[in-house]
Amino acid sequence: MVHEVRGVVARSKGQPVQTETILVPDPGPGEALIGVQACGVCHTDLHYREGAINDDFPFLLGHEAAGIVEAVGPDVTSVAPGDFVVLNWRAVCGECRSCRRGRPQYCFSTHNAAQKMTLEDGTVLTPALGIGAFAEKTLVAAGQATKVDASASPAAVGLLGCGVMAGLGAALFTGNVQKGDSVAVFGCGGVGDAAIVGARLAGAAKIIAVDLDATKLEWARNFGATHTVNASRDDAVEAVRALTDGNGADVCIEAVGNPAVMRQAFFARDLAGTLVQVGVPDPSMTIELPMIEFFGRGGALKPSWYGDCLPSRDFPMLVDLYLQGRLPLDAFVSETIELDAVEEAFRKMERGEVLRSVVVL
Ligand SMILES: NC(=O)c1ccc[n+]([C@@H]2O[C@H](COP(=O)([O-])OP(=O)(O)OC[C@H]3O[C@@H](n4cnc5c(N)ncnc54)[C@H](O)[C@@H]3O)[C@@H](O)[C@H]2O)c1
Ligand SMILES: [Zn+2]
Ligand SMILES: [Zn+2]
């Protein structure tokens, strides 16, 4: 059976997205059909519609989602109809050279659904990050759906599907923040604020939020920043050093995707400190550093893909922390919107008015 549902489609580069009728097949082997309940609007969705990811238009956007499993393929045992799940773009294959070496968080061959979703005329849709969840139903690989406690709010926990997980993991896993550490987070959008929350969970003693926008810094304080630096006014590197006894922070997290900020994060570290790059650069960006600084400062420079998370390990645990009141996921939901309001939500995101607009179905 083919399901006829509404979905948000980007037809061509730079054109406003539209809600259209899409066709979603029933799940085949290894697949799951998801009734989407909530899906956050992420910068990556806008990048797709601007043609900045690839040219495989039309795209079915949306990828930070939670919902209910409606049906599964004949061989699927990891989830069952009725399960409440958070979707992910890291369905580890178990077989690639990284998985075989015991490093599934880097899996180089993650799974997506084999069958295609289409427009009514049969045009094949490319789902954003292999998900495509700005839709009433979507088809994913079963490994892209992780069962979590069903009493959680879909709008809040769906955000673990991308940006919030990336930020939390940048601090918890990639940065490996330890009790008593000093941490500086550069860029306090949804990802940076999640890194602040992660640093706090890990027991960081000092959490310095750096942004250009005073409102963002105020929000960062609410998420647990102990100090703030307004980089539109002050020299960010000097300010972080001044707040850490002249030494620099143990862990600096770049959550903008900007070479100037990357440089600041590099130089704002203490000796042997760690720089985590979670902000995604565009392909034209470069960074130049004196080799003696790279060597002399020691430590580690670490890109963070999806916060080095393992959805099957981390989503249930983080949802439990959320339900215990220890992870403020609701605070990332700036507003809930209808499917038709995604284009408008892109505008609010560009103006910096929201952390996350979340489509609720
Ligand atoms: N690594 C991953 O797996 C992953 C996953 C999701 C998102 N991301 C990336 O994380 C980055 C942040 O995402 P977001 O949703 O938080 O975006 P956002 O636009 O909401 O937040 C960016 C923040 O950076 C601030 N900023 C901009 N220029 C700055 C500067 N020069 N100095 C200090 N602050 C500055 C902005 O004011 C804003 O608060 C993006 O590049 C996004 O693509 C990475
Ligand atoms: Zn793999
Ligand atoms: Zn995203």
Q: What is the CATH number of the domain that holds 201?
A: 3.40.50.720
Q: Is the CB of 281 under 6 A from ligand 1?
A: no
pLDDT higher than 90, residue 46: yes
CA distance 236 to 184: 10
Q: What is the pLDDT of residue 4?
A: 98
Q: What is the pTM of this model?
A: 0.96
Ligand 1 site, residue 174, Cβ cutoff 6 A:
no
Torsion angle of the four alpha carbons 85, 89, 93, 97, in this order, in degrees rounded to the nearest 10: -150
13 SS3 class: coil
Q: Is the model's pLDDT at 276 over the cut of 90?
A: yes
Are residues 147 and 106 part of one domain?
Answer: yes
- At residue 282, the pLDDT reads 85
Average pLDDT over residues 262-282: 96
Identify the domain containing residue 232 by its residue range. Answer: 167-305
List, for residues 303-348, the tens digit of each pLDDT value.
Answer: 999 999 999 999 999 999 999 999 999 999 999 999 999 999 999 9
CA of 256 to the centre of ligand 1 (A): 3
Q: Which protein residue's CA is at the shortest distance from atom 11 of ligand 1?
A: 279
- The ligand that comes nearest to the alpha carbon of residue 228 is 1
Residue 348, domain member (yes or no): yes
Q: Is pLDDT of 216 > 90?
A: yes
Distance (Å) from CA 103 to ligand 2 centroid:
8
Do 139 and 22 belong together in one domain? yes
Residue 312 in any domain: the answer is no
Ligand 1, residue 281: give the atom nearest the CA.
41
Q: 14-21, long-range: CB within 8 Å, 24+ apart, which pairs?
A: 14/49, 14/50, 14/51, 15/49, 16/343, 17/49, 17/61, 17/342, 17/343, 17/346, 19/339, 19/340, 19/342, 20/119, 20/120, 21/119, 21/120
Domain annotation covers residue 314: no
Q: What is the DSSP string of 188-246?
A: -SHHHHHHHHHHHHTT-SEEEEEES-HHHHHHHHHHT-SEEEETTTS-HHHHHHHTTTT
233: which residues sit within 8 A by CB, 6+ positions away? none
Alpha-carbon distance 294 to 226, whole Å? 28
Domain of 93, CATH number, reads 3.90.180.10
What is the 59 CA–ligand 3 centroid distance (Å)? 14
CA angle 236, 255, 10 (to 5 degrees): 140
pLDDT digits (tens, 9 = 90+) for 174-195: 999 999 999 999 999 999 999 9
Q: How distant is the alpha carbon of residue 56 from its chain centre?
A: 21
Q: Assess whether the C-beta atom of 258 lies below 6 angstroms from ligand 1.
A: yes
3-state secondary structure of 346: helix
- The residues, any chain, with a CB within 8 Å of residue 121's CB and separated by 6 or more, are none
Can you list the positions of beta strands (E) in the chain? Answer: 2-10, 18-25, 31-40, 59-60, 64-72, 84-87, 118-119, 126-127, 137-141, 145-147, 182-186, 206-211, 227-230, 249-254, 269-277, 300-303, 335-337, 357-360
* Average pLDDT estimate for 278-284: 90
Tokens for 212, please give them: 């250009």
pLDDT at 118 over 90: yes
The pLDDT of residue 221: 98
Whether residues 193 and 155 fall in one domain: no
- Residue 315 maps to a domain: no
Q: Is residue 13 domain-shared with residue 152, that is, in the same domain? A: yes
**Rounded percentage of the chain residues whose pLDDT exceeds 70:** 100
> Is residue 234 domain-shared with residue 156, that is, in the same domain?
no
Q: Is the CB of 305 under 6 A from ligand 1?
A: yes
Q: What confidence tier does 165 reach under pLDDT thresholds 50, 70, 90?
A: very high
- Mean of the pLDDT values across residues 286-291? 96
Residue that finishes a domain, picked among 305, 320, 345? 305
pLDDT value of residue 131:
98
Q: Does residue 220 line the site of ligand 1, with CB under 6 A? A: no
Say if 317 falls within a structural domain.
Answer: no
CA of 162 to the centre of ligand 3 (A): 4
Residue 196 is predicted with a pLDDT of 98
Question: Is 82 buried (19+), middle (13-18) or exposed (0-12) by CB count in 10 A?
Answer: exposed
pLDDT of residue 52: 86
Examine the domain organization and report whether 174 and 30 are in the same domain. Answer: no
CB 59 within 8 A of CB 14: no
- Digit-coded pLDDT (tens) for 230-254: 999 999 999 999 999 999 999 999 9
Regarding whether 80 and 174 lie in a shared domain, the answer is no
Beta bridge partners of 58: none
Report how far ligand 3's centroid is from the alpha carbon of 43 (Å).
Answer: 6
